[in-house]
Amino acid sequence: MDRWEYQITTHSAGEVLRVREELGHPPVEDNPPVVYCDTEGVCFFDEAPNPYVESMVHILNEKGAEGWELVQVTFRQADFICLWKREL
């Protein structure tokens, strides 16, 4: 029988911007939305500048490199929440 441990992480828009700069992208004066969500809670990346998506992927890959598997991600107005699991 498989046994799992779980973890929840929250990542702010500020963290995405910091990672964006760490990856060598110039700082932004105006913080445009990273993810667009409609009133039904459907979120999409259309029209989002690629450096922001690249920063989010970098954040997710760092946790994945530690052996965590992303189970679910939920986007909110100023951050996103990740639910992770890994086998014990």
Cα separation, 30 vs 15, in Å, equals: 15
Residue 86 CB neighbour total at 10 angstroms = 14
Structure-token pair, residue 72 = 């679910």
Say if pTM beats, i.e. exceeds, 0.85: no
- 3-44 pLDDT tens trace: 999 999 999 989 998 998 898 887 766 555 556 677 777 777
What percent of the chain clears pLDDT 70, i.e. is strictly above it? Answer: 82
DSSP string, 7-59: EEEEEEHHHHHHHHHHTTPPP-SS---SSEE-TTS-EE-TT--HHHHHHHHHH
Token look-up 């046994």 returns 3
